[in-house]
């Protein structure tokens, strides 16, 4: 069988194909509540399971652990801490980013879990696991009920 | 015994793993399947069922690629199914093959793992972007590598493990792969080479990661009565396990793979294994990134939490060590055509337990081996325990 180490697939006898399809995704019942609150009032909500006490962030309408329907919403504030982070130097197709971007898993007090987002107003050398951070929202007029209504999290 | 019939592996095969192989996915599946059938001494007509393991359609770029690959996997006019649990697919396909035979429904099952990743142009990393949550993750520009980087960093932080300690895994596996005739990236490298390689998403660097690969691997499974007619050296599947954790990264403790532990416990219980590090003679542990070998050794309870790096530094996991891990060279060395890589690990354990691993053969006379894979959104574990 062939074993050539060809780096560029275009050098092979080939047919160039394309699989793109576009989608309009609904946010879902929990997502719409979460992002509407974020857009309108800059508040971050989690959902609590009455049966087992687990507090879901991001919120859901059901408990994946005991399958209870979740109806209790909890405002968890806009602050959390850096649970872990990375400094990304490459893009989605593995090409070099112009500026490295810091992404972090931000754990919220008062919830089990948190959000993945960017960090801003901080140099990557200065980021530490455990560092307290808070959400910086876009101006009200620019918010669109999606995760990027939060511009980034910054140190507090 | 779990199941109506005891299940044996009686043949294995695999293609070379390479970037940009000319063969289509079907052709790769055929090459691996034919080799496995030849080793088993069977014709296609002897095969009563087929399980195909292959990961996201976007890799091969063929929607519903289970159907596309069927003929190459020998499924013509046969009961056929595709199973798919992301990176965990290659070992889970063997779990699925097991229940085909253990149930008593089929005497034989051909299990095939395939992936052709290099078709995705310019880079298959892009094919991963649509596996993530469309509401919370994709709008941030999520990439596969930075998600791993978050997990690796958390693991390092909790246990105080260094990049140097982790790099030893890459050094070991790429060196082991020098002895594998199908390997893509066998090499003698140093810890410094890993630490000096391109930083992709800190703490993940180029040489911490397995490559883009094309390839296929296959196993022939048979019930005890059929196996005993065909071979004096069947390798028994004595334990199977699989488990999924929350799909939300932020609802998991990233430093420890609980889902791997659950899958392992299921397999160990079935195999009657009480002390895994003592009773497992050789293991193929999923290593798409070097830290994952350590992370998974802990999940498999082959090392205590936070201790896998120490065992690695002491040489315990070398091919001639007391607990050889990834004697094949793993994904870091042999290559990582996703589902095929997991099935390759099962092939390696089969060959090791039969004493057929050639220059890769671990010392002593290994009787019990384990293969493990991990996948979906990094929260899925699949495990097979085999005995000779
Ligand atoms: Zn609950």
Convert the pLDDT of each residue in A10-69 to its tens digit.
888 888 888 778 899 999 999 999 999 999 999 999 999 999 999 999 999 999 999 999
Query: What is the CATH classification number for the domain harbouring B337?
Result: 3.40.47.10
pLDDT tens for each residue of B373-387:
998 888 999 999 999
Please give the DSSP secondary-structure letter assigned to residue B327: T
Tell me the pLDDT band of A5, cut-offs 50, 70 and 90: low
Decide: B366 and B352 in contact? Cβ < 8 Å: yes
Give me the total of CB pairs closer than 8 Å, taking one residue from chain A and one from chain B.
143
Decide: B179 and B359 in contact? Cβ < 8 Å: yes
In A, which residues are within 8 Å of B122 by CB distance? 93-94
Q: How far apart are the first and last CA of chain B?
A: 16
Token reading at A127: 């980021």
User: Residue B17 falls within a domain, yes or no?
Assistant: yes
Split into its structural domains, chain A has a count of: 1
User: Residue A13 falls within a domain, yes or no?
Assistant: no
Split into its structural domains, chain B has a count of: 1
User: Residue B201 falls within a domain, yes or no?
Assistant: no
Residue by residue, what is the 3-state secondary structure of B131-155? Answer: HCCCCCCHHHCCCHHHHHHHHHHHH
Q: Give the minimum alpha-carbon distance from A84 to chain B in angstroms, rounded to a whole number.
A: 5
Nearest CA in chain B to A22: B130
Residue A1 has a pLDDT of: 43
Decide: B153 and B62 in contact? Cβ < 8 Å: no
Taking the CB of residue B86, how many other CB atoms lie within 10 A of it? 22
**ipTM value of the model?**
0.90
User: Residue A41 falls within a domain, yes or no?
Assistant: yes
Residue B79 has a pLDDT of: 98
Q: What is the mean pLDDT of residues B89-107?
A: 98
Query: Does residue A152 surpass a pLDDT of 90?
Result: yes
Q: Is pLDDT larger for residue B24 or for residue B129?
A: B24
Q: Where are the beta strands (DSSP E) in chain B?
A: 7-14, 50-54, 80-83, 108-116, 199-202, 204-205, 214-223, 235-244, 282-284, 368-375, 380-387
User: Residue A82 falls within a domain, yes or no?
Assistant: yes
Decide: B154 and B305 in contact? Cβ < 8 Å: no
Tell me the pLDDT band of A2, cut-offs 50, 70 and 90: very low
What pairing do the DSSP bridges indicate for beta strands A150-155 and A132-137?
antiparallel
User: Residue A129 falls within a domain, yes or no?
Assistant: yes
CA B66 to chain centre: 19
Q: Give the minimum alpha-carbon distance from B116 to chain A in angstroms, rounded to a whole number.
A: 12
In A, which residues are within 8 Å of B254 by CB distance? 83-84, 105
pLDDT tens for each residue of B226-236:
999 999 999 99
> Which range is least confidently modeled, B2-16, B129-143, B355-369?
B129-143
User: Residue A19 falls within a domain, yes or no?
Assistant: no
Range of the domain at A74: 28-155
Query: Does residue B372 surpass a pLDDT of 90?
Result: yes
What pairing do the DSSP bridges indicate for beta strands A55-57 and A112-118?
parallel
Rounded CA separation B51/B240 (Å): 16
Query: What is the CATH classification number for the domain harbouring A75?
Result: 2.40.50.140
Range of the domain at B50: 7-122+211-387
Residue of B119, B123, B201 lying closest to A86 (CB–CB): B201
Decide: B341 and B382 in contact? Cβ < 8 Å: no
User: Residue A35 falls within a domain, yes or no?
Assistant: yes
pLDDT tens for each residue of A59-111:
999 999 999 999 999 999 999 999 999 999 998 777 889 999 999 999 998 89
B251 with A113: Cβ contact below 8 A: yes
Tell me the pLDDT band of B353, cut-offs 50, 70 and 90: very high
User: Residue B205 falls within a domain, yes or no?
Assistant: no
Q: Give the minimum alpha-carbon distance from B228 to chain A in angstroms, rounded to a whole number.
A: 33
Residue of B18, B146, B199 lying closest to A103 (CB–CB): B146
Q: What is the mean pLDDT of residues B271-275?
A: 98
User: Residue A79 falls within a domain, yes or no?
Assistant: yes
Region of A110 (left: φ > 0; alpha: ψ -120 to 50; beta: rest) is left
The helix/strand/coil state of A41 is: helix
User: Residue B281 falls within a domain, yes or no?
Assistant: yes
User: Residue B177 falls within a domain, yes or no?
Assistant: no
User: Residue B161 falls within a domain, yes or no?
Assistant: no
Q: Give the minimum alpha-carbon distance from A96 to chain B in angstroms, rounded to a whole number.
A: 9
pLDDT tens for each residue of B292-333:
999 999 999 999 999 999 999 999 999 999 999 999 999 999
Residue A95 has a pLDDT of: 82
Place of tokens 């879902």: A28
Nearest CA in chain B to A19: B61
Query: Does residue A3 surpass a pLDDT of 50?
Result: no
Angle between helix B163-177 and helix B290-299 axes, rounded to 10 deg = 100
Q: What is the mean pLDDT of residues B74-97?
A: 97
Residue A20 has a pLDDT of: 76
Decide: B374 and B380 in contact? Cβ < 8 Å: yes
How many angstroms separate the alpha carbon of residue A63 from the centre of ligand 1?
5
A12 with B122: Cβ contact below 8 A: no
């Amino acid at each position: 069988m062939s074993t050539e180490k060809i780096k560029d697939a275009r050098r092979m006898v080939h047919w160039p194909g394309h699989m793109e399809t576009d989608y309009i995704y609904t946010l879902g019942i929990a997502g719409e509540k979460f992002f509407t609150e974020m857009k309108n009032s800059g508040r971050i909500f989690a959902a609590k399971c009455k049966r087992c006490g687990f507090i879901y962030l991001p919120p859901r309408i059901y408990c994946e652990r005991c399958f209870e329907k979740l109806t209790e919403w909890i405002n968890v504030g806009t602050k959390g801490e850096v649970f872990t982070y990375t400094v990304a130097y490459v893009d989605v197709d593995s090409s070099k980013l112009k500026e490295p971007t810091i992404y972090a898993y931000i754990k919220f007090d008062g919830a089990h879990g948190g959000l993945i987002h960017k960090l801003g107003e901080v140099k990557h050398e200065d980021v530490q696991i455990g560092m307290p951070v808070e959400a910086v929202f876009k101006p009200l007029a620019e918010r669109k009920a999606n995760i990027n209504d939060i511009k980034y999290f910054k140190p507090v | 015994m779990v199941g109506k019939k005891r299940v044996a592996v009686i043949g294995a095969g695999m293609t070379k793993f390479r970037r940009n192989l000319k063969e289509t996915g079907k052709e790769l599946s055929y090459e691996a399947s034919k080799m496995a059938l030849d080793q088993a001494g069977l014709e296609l007509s002897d095969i009563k069922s087929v399980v195909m393991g292959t990961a996201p359609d976007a890799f091969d770029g063929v929607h519903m690629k289970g159907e596309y690959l069927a003929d190459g996997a020998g499924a013509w006019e046969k009961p056929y199914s595709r199973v798919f649990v992301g990176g965990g697919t290659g070992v889970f396909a063997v779990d699925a093959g097991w229940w085909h035979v253990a149930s008593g429904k089929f005497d034989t099952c051909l299990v095939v793992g395939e992936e052709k990743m290099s078709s995705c142009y310019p880079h298959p990393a892009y094919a991963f972007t649509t596996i993530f949550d469309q509401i919370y993750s994709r709008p941030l520009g999520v990439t596969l590598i930075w998600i791993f980087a978050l997990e690796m960093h958390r693991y390092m932080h909790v246990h105080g493990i260094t990049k140097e300690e982790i790099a030893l895994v890459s050094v070991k596996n790429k060196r082991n792969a020098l002895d594998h005739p199908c390997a893509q990236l066998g090499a003698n490298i140093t810890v410094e080479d890993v630490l000096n390689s391109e930083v992709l998403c800190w703490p993940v660097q180029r040489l911490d990661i397995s490559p883009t690969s094309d390839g296929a691997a296959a196993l022939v499974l048979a019930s005890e009565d059929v196996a005993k007619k065909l071979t004096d050296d069947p390798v028994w599947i004595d334990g199977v396990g699989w488990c999924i954790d929350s799909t939300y990264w932020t609802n998991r403790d990233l430093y420890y793979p609980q889902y791997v532990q659950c899958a392992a416990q299921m397999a160990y219980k079935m195999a009657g294994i009480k002390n895994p590090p003592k009773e497992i003679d050789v293991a193929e542990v999923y290593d798409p990134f070097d830290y994952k070998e350590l992370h998974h050794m802990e999940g498999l309870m082959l090392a205590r939490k936070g201790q896998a790096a120490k065992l690695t530094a002491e040489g315990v996991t070398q091919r001639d060590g007391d607990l050889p891990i990834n004697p094949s060279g793993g994904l870091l060395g042999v290559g990582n055509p996703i589902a095929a890589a997991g099935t390759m690990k099962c092939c390696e354990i089969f060959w090791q337990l039969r004493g057929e691993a050639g220059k890769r053969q671990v010392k002593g006379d290994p009787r019990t081996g384990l293969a493990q894979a991990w996948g979906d959104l990094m929260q899925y574990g699949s495990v097979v325990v085999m005995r000779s």
